[in-house]
Amino acid sequence: MRTSVAIIGAGPAGLLLARLLQRQGIDSVVLESRSREHVEHRQRAGILEQGTIDVLRECGAGERMDREGLPHDGIELRFGRAGHRIDMAALTGGRQVMVYAQTEVVRDLVALRLESGSPLLFEAEALAVEGAEGEQPRVRYRHDGAEQVLAADYVVGTDGFHGVARKSIPPERVRTYERTYPYAWLGILASVPPSTDELIYANHERGFALHSMRSTQVSRLYLQVPPDTSLQDWPDEEIWAELDRRFEVDADWKLQRGPITERSVTPMRSFVSEPLRHGRLLLAGDAAHIVPPTGAKGLNLAAADVTLLARALGSSLLRGDDAELDAYSDTALRRVWRAEHFSYFMTTLLHTDPAADDFGRRLQLSHLDYVANSTAAATSLAENYVGLPLPAGPA
């Protein structure tokens, strides 16, 4: 098989890239190792920043998001038994976030791709990327029990942290940067209306807690736990009791409980692999970088990468102008590192560091107090949370 752009991975990055290329009349083939059922049900992120909202609307994939998503102007920081609202829209000239689960974004993009009749192969595992340094890169993949080859002008690895694309780059050409954290998130989905209109990020001496949501009927909640936590150690009653302790507040507020329908323990990591290009192989999304989930940046960084990459591939393939493609890695990495820092900032600001001494704990409380009471500090958090504008596209 042959195509202009071979895309490995049908997560949000790969699917959105395929859509953005298709809108420019550029053909692509998406290879996804898992089943449609699997990719549409993986519980992942739930917050879309302004740029992601905009690109989904612009490419005709935002209709259900606008119908079912929940636009939010602010978040609450809760510490010292008090809540502090950060009015992000007011601080950023009206930029917002949208509560709309990654599963729904994936479902919408899969449906559009299949309706268009363009190739999206499920249970098609990419085995290797070959010839990236030449003019005719190709992907060897297994599908329907047979090994096959997909030739392309460009190959894009949107195959996540464990994918094959990044690993196909010669190690001597790759620089990686990594930080792990001494805690993880225990996450639950509960069939109960959220006990808050906006997200609550709680810093408590017992540990961090987050009250998010998936809809007006489903709550999404997280607890900071030790990295090696087993779900067996956390019966439902204990999860709710610990959430109650960490959300304690001097106000008439109560966390509503309901049936827990999903549980998971997610480790935390910051990771960047540079550069995002090797010849005719490009990387985007989790294939190139990972952020701790505190800043809700993972999905949004993936969307920003492929928005830049779709523009660059369009200029190259349609107009023979390679300038944006040659600059893609540096342009994307500038934004990646901004989001890496913001995610690190939110994580260390809000989580209880088991190794912190009393001085460190007081510094953290002072920083929280500063963010809650300084317009300048709150604006810095707000503009990063709602997402900084992408560099302007070609005129």
138 binding partner (options ligand PHB, ligand APR, none; Cβ < 5 to 8 Å by kind): none
Nearer to ligand APR, 123 or 321 (CB): 123
Which of 12, 72, 194, 211 is catalytic? The answer is: 72
Among the residues of 225-322, which ranges form H helices? 236-246, 298-319
Binding positions for ligand APR, 36-55, rule CB under 6 A: 39, 44-45
List the structure tokens of 156: 């894009």
> In angstroms, what is the minimal distance from the CB of 310 to ligand PHB?
26
Contacts 24+ apart (CB under 8 A), 211-214: 211/243, 211/247, 211/255, 212/46, 212/47, 212/99, 213/46, 213/70, 213/99, 214/46, 214/99, 214/101, 214/189
Among 125, 130, 248, 369, interactor with ligand APR by CB under 6 A: 125
Q: Does 294 bind ligand PHB (CB under 6 A)?
A: yes
CB of 13 to ligand APR, least distance (A): 3
Q: Applying CB under 6 A, does 34 fall inside the site for ligand APR?
A: yes
Residue whose CB is less far from ligand PHB, 199 or 336: 199
Binding flag, residue 17, ligand APR (CB under 6 A): no
Tell which residue, 155, 186, 188, 190, has the closest CA to residue 169. 155
Using the rule CB under 6 A, is 292 a contact of ligand APR?
no
The structure tokens listed for 266 are: 């997610």
Rounded to whole angstroms, the Cα distance separating 253 from 87 reads 20
Ordered DSSP codes for 183-214: EEEEEEEESS--SSSS-EEEEETTEEEEEEES
Q: Is 141 a catalytic residue?
A: no
Helix, strand or coil, per DSSP, at residue 97: strand
Among 46, 74, 160, 387, binds ligand APR (CB under 6 A): 160
298 binds, among ligand PHB, ligand APR, none (CB under 5 to 8 A by kind): ligand APR
Determine how many CB atoms are found less than 10 A away from the CB of residue 366.
10
Q: Is 162 noted as a catalytic residue in this protein?
A: no
> Total number of residues binding ligand PHB (CB under 6 A)?
10
Q: Which does residue 51 touch among ligand APR, ligand PHB, none (CB within 5 to 8 A, set by kind)?
A: none
- Please report, as residue ranges, which positions from 17 to 46 form the binding site for ligand PHB (by CB under 6 A): 45-46
CB of 199 to ligand PHB, least distance (A): 6
Count the helices and strands in the chain (H runs, E runs): 11, 19
Among ligand APR, ligand PHB, none, residue 7 binds (CB under 5-8 Å by kind): none
- Dihedral, CA atoms, 261, 267, 272, 273, nearest 10 degrees? -90
Say what angle helices 323-350 and 358-373 make with each other, to 10 degrees: 120
As given in the structure block, the two tokens for residue 90 are: 């007011």
201 catalytically annotated:
yes
Q: Which does 74 bind (CB under 5 to 8 A by kind): ligand APR, ligand PHB, none?
A: none
Q: Using CB distances below 5 to 8 A depending on partner kind, what does residue 47 bind out of ligand PHB, ligand APR, none?
A: ligand PHB
Give yes or no for a contact between 353 and 182, defined as CB atoms under 8 angstroms apart.
Answer: yes
Element (H, E) at 31: strand 28-31
154 is catalytic: no
Minimum Å gap between C-beta 30 and ligand APR is 9
Binding site partner of 158, from ligand PHB, ligand APR, none, Cβ cut-off 5-8 A by kind: ligand APR
Q: Is 286 in the site for ligand APR (CB under 6 A)?
A: yes
- Identify which of 11, 37, 3 has the alpha carbon closest to the alpha carbon of residue 150: 3
State the nearest-atom distance from the C-beta of 337 to ligand PHB, in Å: 19
Q: Active site includes 72?
A: yes
Give every CB contact of residue 263 below 8 A, 6+ residues apart in sequence: 186, 187, 188, 231, 234
Question: Using alpha carbons only, how large is the chain's radius of gyration in Å?
Answer: 21
State which of residues 92, 158, 196, 212 lies at the interface with ligand PHB (CB under 6 A). Answer: 212
Under the rule (CB under 6 A), what is the footprint of ligand APR?
A: 8-14, 31-34, 39, 44-45, 102, 125-126, 158-160, 163-164, 285-286, 298-299, 302
- List residues near ligand PHB by CB under 6 A: 45-47, 199, 212, 220, 293-296
Residues with catalytic function:
72, 201, 293, 297, 385
